Structure 1
Amino acid sequence: MKLTFFGGAGTVTGSKALLESDFTKILIDCGLFQGLKELRRKNWDKLPIDLDELNLVILTHAHLDHIGYLPVLVKNGYTKNIYCTKATEDLAKIILLDSAKIQEEDAKRANKYSYSNHKPAFPLYTINDAKKTINQLKSFELNTWYPINIDIQFKFLNSGHILGSAFVLLNIKGKIIVFSGDIGRKKPILLPRYKYIDKADYVVIESTYGNRLHKKRKITAQLLRYIKLTYSKGGILIIPSFSVERAQEIIYFLSLLKREHKLPQIPIYLDSPMGVNATEVYFKYTNYHTLTEEDINSMINTVHLISDVTTSKSIVNDLNPKIVIAGSGMITGGRVLHYLDKLISDKKNSILIVGYQAEGTRGRSLLSGDSELKFFGKYHPIKAEVFKINEFSGHADQSELLDWLQHFKEAPNLTIINHGEPHQSQALKVKIKTALGWKCTVAKMNNEYYLN
């Protein structure tokens, strides 16, 4: 068997791992590169995989850095199945169509205002490409082994990261290979905890927070503090948010504060078509999360769900105090840019960062204390206050990653660390070697790893 990483190695984006066994080729995840320009350019490079020989794609979960390259794969000729969990299928439909729409809109805007070096600028893929991709999705239940061919079986187990997220287990002629995808917290906010696994011959584990421990502070107290501070200035609180999981978590905490009568009397909006659709999917899969019916009803009554453009524009132009949750989470695109265009240069407003910000993203620039932010082809001075809540993280920290690994009854032959910036992956490697005594290595882009 041979494993090659074409993304998610030395970086937290663009996850793609090709597993080859005899004449079978399986791609685990097919993510979009985000963040640094040098990474985003890789989205335009030809993937060094013969798509005629690729037998199957299996997805760990529906985040863009794990599924966002699929329409390129399909556009370039991939016609076979894409396996995932049922909730991942529903979320992937929403996310891929939204991503394609943004790709088309960005290209259109670049051509209109001539701020692209490409004349004309083209989208990486189109809505039509995304629709074709959706037709190739095939979903499966958790906790059950399914055959791929006479030699290979696969199984999904809950990983606790987002709705529908799963560890991918492959049994190839008796050898077990586990792909963690992204691992959630030991005590997630809205989801059941990740499943433990007894045995594996090889493990591929993420390392997004492989070098740190999450602080334990009460989220509602921090959230309320920033809401009240912004409200006292007569400002608007903008929360750039990932549409899946993070948006629902924020709405949940806001609903708790509302139930306790602690919130100011101001409107709260989720202005994200993808976020609205993802929230509806969330409420559909009651067996995949831990929300009660009371929780769901309270969330529905706390926030105004905004999808249509006309309403969104009127909210952008209304400068009265409010809370706006808008995509995208790393401020790489989406409706949040329209709010920032109007509000970022006014010191009475606030921006609250509630998720991981990859290197090279606008969100990382805000956290780094940059004085201006470039979008829509121009620079905007940053005068709004910028705050951060780390405790929202949906990624396991170092102690939680070790907790998951420690439940294997025997050490795998090899543990491969991926999906982390270099210092994070190296820190986790050292910790695994010293704490567990396991043989492990950090994945490198385009390197081939032979699994005996």
Structure 2
Amino acid sequence: MSNKVKISFYGAAGTVTGSKFLLETQEYNILIDAGMFQGLKELRKLNWKDFPFPPKDIDTVLLTHGHLDHSGYLPRLVMQGFNGPILGTSPSLAIASIILRDSAKIQEENAEKANKEDFSSHSPALPFYNIEQAEKAITLFEKVEPEDWITLSENIKARFIKNGHILGATFIELDIFGKLWVFSGDIGREQDLLLEPPGRPQWADYLIMESTYGDRRHPVEDVDEILSSEIENVINTNGSLIIPSFAVERLQSLMFKLWQLYKKNKIPNIPIFIDSPMGNEVLDVFERFPQWHKLDLNEFREMKKHFKIITSYKDTWKTIDYNRPKVVIAGSGMVTGGRVLTYLRYYLEKPETTVLLVGFQAEGTRGRQLLEGSQEIKIFGKYCQVNAKIKHIDSLSAHADQVGLLAWTSEIKNIPEQVFLVHGEPHSRDALRVKLKDVYKWNTSSPELHESFSAS
């Protein structure tokens, strides 16, 4: 039998989103992650194309973590014939289940709205997948324990190692015919409010590594001062602070930050509304898996009581009509969908509104448009004037910056035969490529979408 391994980059190559890496061997085929493309329209259109390799011939999917750009393509993969196990840690599978159900629900609602209000170029507008299709993918989930080697076939085994970033996230090591393939997934930060530092690989014959922040260091910002100042401002102007937030990790980090500020008397007891059905479910995942984070459960429960957690769309409208100073944290983090769009539709035109972006804004998203000073953005088929103040906190990212990425690689004892840089915009990947060459003399490349390489 040939020991040849072919790797194909079907996502997160030449772009940040849509992670999909296929490993083909004569005895077993493995897909690492199955993410959706997000951002620019030409990228989103790629989601609708059939997977380039027959999904029925994929033996298993290994999930680094539950984010949509790593798990959101799973229902489509199943629709096209995949029927193998989808392996991930228990928190990752719990989060992926929440994200897939939420994504399906939003897509069904958006398609229904587009058809009703006739603002889609498709007739009829269809959801990318529906709730039933998401549930079918979820039935294939199988949990793994971190650190344990799992035998996949005669000559292939895998293990998942904690990697910070979000609850349950891992990097994955694959021993294939005696060579170690390491897939970084998304690498977390050394100093994280909620999570322990990421693990570090000790050996890698082939390294597939993310490069989201490969060209920069996270800025040194006084996040407490920024949040306190913005809350003081909305109180003085009888305004609203709208914070679009990722439902996983970012929302919980913001809650913890604001809770700490309140306990230290740095902010008054202003109403803080949490409007993210998915985020609420992720709070329950934090409670179910205390061994995966640093928060004391008693304090976590006390913290939750401090916030006004919205559970119905009816309460969303009540919050919109609430005309006193308030803070609203709502999904989604890049303003691509979710409840935050409903708020922005009514609040963007108000000069007393502040929109605080709290993370990476991918190219082509509404968040990036706001960040770059767009005077109007399109929401539900209509243009909204941007009179609100747009602010940005960049230091809350759950991704390691260039220093963190180098630290993550620092314990690899050998020189990898090949390093592939993925999951980054072109400048980020190239900056990290140069840095890895200067520091380690490693042979690195930046594969493009659908590019393949063979190794033996």
The worse-fitting range, judged by mean Cα deviation, of 43-52 and 343-352 is: 43-52
**Residue aligning to 2:426:** 422
Q: State the secondary structure of the residue aligned to 1:316.
A: helix
Query: Does the alignment pair 1:70 with 2:89?
Result: no
1:26-41 mapped onto 2 (5 Å cutoff): 26-41=30-45
Q: Cα RMSD over matched residues?
A: 1.0
**Residue aligning to 1:269:** 273
**Residue aligning to 1:103:** 107
Contact map agreement 2:63 2:88 (CA 8 A) in 1? yes
**Residue aligning to 2:6:** 2
**Residue aligning to 1:301:** 305
Contact map agreement 2:200 2:408 (CA 8 A) in 1? yes
**Residue aligning to 1:447:** 451
Contact map agreement 1:255 1:298 (CA 8 A) in 2? no
Q: CA deviation at 1:216?
A: 2.3
Q: CA deviation at 1:294?
A: 4.6
Q: Which amino acid aligns with 1:357?
A: Q
Q: Residue 187 of structure 1 is aligned with which of 188, 191, 194?
A: 191
Q: Residue 239 of structure 1 is aligned with which of 240, 243, 259?
A: 243
Structure 2 distance, partners of 1:33, 1:279, is 26
1:214-363 mapped onto 2 (5 Å cutoff): 214-363=218-367
Q: Percent identity?
A: 44
Q: State the secondary structure of the residue aligned to 2:55.
A: coil
Contact map agreement 2:234 2:326 (CA 8 A) in 1? no
Q: Which amino acid aligns with 1:12?
A: V
Contact map agreement 2:274 2:309 (CA 8 A) in 1? yes
Structure 1 distance, partners of 2:451, 2:276, is 38
Q: CA deviation at 1:218?
A: 2.7
Q: Residue 132 of structure 2 is aligned with which of 123, 128, 132?
A: 128
**Residue aligning to 2:122:** 118
Structure 1 distance, partners of 2:311, 2:8, is 40
Q: CA deviation at 1:258?
A: 1.0
Q: Which amino acid aligns with 2:348?
A: I
The worse-fitting range, judged by mean Cα deviation, of 263-272 and 42-51 is: 263-272
Q: Which amino acid aligns with 1:75?
A: M
Q: CA deviation at 1:179?
A: 0.3
Deviation readout 1:15-37 (Å, 9 max, x if unpaired)? 10001122311100000111000
Q: CA deviation at 1:451?
A: 2.0
**Residue aligning to 1:138:** 142
Q: Size of the alignment, in residue pairs?
A: 452
Contact map agreement 2:262 2:269 (CA 8 A) in 1? no
Structure 1 distance, partners of 2:163, 2:72, is 20
Q: CA deviation at 1:150?
A: 1.3
**Residue aligning to 1:407:** 411
**Residue aligning to 1:16:** 20
Q: CA deviation at 1:317?
A: 2.2
**Residue aligning to 2:97:** 93
**Residue aligning to 1:204:** 208
Structure 2 distance, partners of 1:12, 1:231, is 37
Query: Does the alignment pair 1:162 with 2:166?
Result: yes
Gaps of 5+ in 2: none
Structure 2 distance, partners of 1:217, 1:121, is 43
Q: Which amino acid aligns with 2:181?
A: I
Structure 2 distance, partners of 1:105, 1:71, is 17
Q: CA deviation at 1:2?
A: 0.8
Deviation readout 1:359-415 (Å, 9 max, x if unpaired)? 000000000000001011010000111111111011111111011112101111111
1:371-410 mapped onto 2 (5 Å cutoff): 371-410=375-414
Structure 2 distance, partners of 1:421, 1:371, is 25
Structure 1 distance, partners of 2:214, 2:266, is 36
Q: State the secondary structure of the residue aligned to 2:77.
A: helix
Q: Which amino acid aligns with 1:21?
A: T
Structure 2 distance, partners of 1:342, 1:148, is 52
Structure 2 distance, partners of 1:256, 1:404, is 29
Structure 1 distance, partners of 2:59, 2:321, is 50
Structure 1 distance, partners of 2:152, 2:78, is 20
The worse-fitting range, judged by mean Cα deviation, of 314-323 and 115-124 is: 314-323
Q: State the secondary structure of the residue aligned to 2:153.
A: coil
Q: Which amino acid aligns with 1:348?
A: E
Q: CA deviation at 1:302?
A: 2.1
Structure 2 distance, partners of 1:294, 1:385, is 37
Deviation readout 1:33-59 (Å, 9 max, x if unpaired)? 110000000011111111121101011
Q: State the secondary structure of the residue aligned to 1:52.
A: helix
Q: Which amino acid aligns with 2:307?
A: V
Task: Tell me the TM-score normalised to structure 1 length.
Answer: 0.98
Q: State the secondary structure of the residue aligned to 2:47.
A: helix
Q: Which amino acid aligns with 1:187?
A: Q
Contact map agreement 2:163 2:199 (CA 8 A) in 1? yes
Contact map agreement 1:258 1:302 (CA 8 A) in 2? no
Q: State the secondary structure of the residue aligned to 1:18.
A: strand
Structure 1 distance, partners of 2:106, 2:447, is 31
Q: Which amino acid aligns with 1:404?
A: W
Structure 2 distance, partners of 1:30, 1:231, is 44
Q: CA deviation at 1:319?
A: 2.4
Structure 1 distance, partners of 2:306, 2:394, is 23
The worse-fitting range, judged by mean Cα deviation, of 404-413 and 60-69 is: 404-413
Contact map agreement 1:416 1:440 (CA 8 A) in 2? yes
Q: CA deviation at 1:158?
A: 0.6
Query: Does the alignment pair 1:436 with 2:440?
Result: yes
Q: Which amino acid aligns with 1:383?
A: N
Gaps of 5+ in 1: none
Q: State the secondary structure of the residue aligned to 1:324.
A: strand
Q: State the secondary structure of the residue aligned to 1:148.
A: strand
